[in-house]
Amino acid sequence: MKAALVKEGIEGARLQTKGWGESKPVADEATPEGKERNRRVEVVLVQ
């Protein structure tokens, strides 16, 4: 996600990323629906 934003012209120094991976799922991985919910990108804008 960060690389795509930088490619579009946003200065990389203005962006921070965190990768939680499997350590913080938001749904159960036992179902297809849960796996779909866990494939996500969250963007937080800070003024």
Q: What is the pLDDT of residue 46?
A: 83
How does DSSP classify residue 26? S
Q: Are 40 and 26 in contact (CB under 8 A)?
A: yes
Q: What is the pLDDT of residue 45?
A: 84
Q: What is the pLDDT of residue 42?
A: 83
Sign of CA dihedral 4, 1, 3, 47: positive
Mean pLDDT, the chain cut into blocks of 10 residues (47 residues total) = 93 89 88 91 83
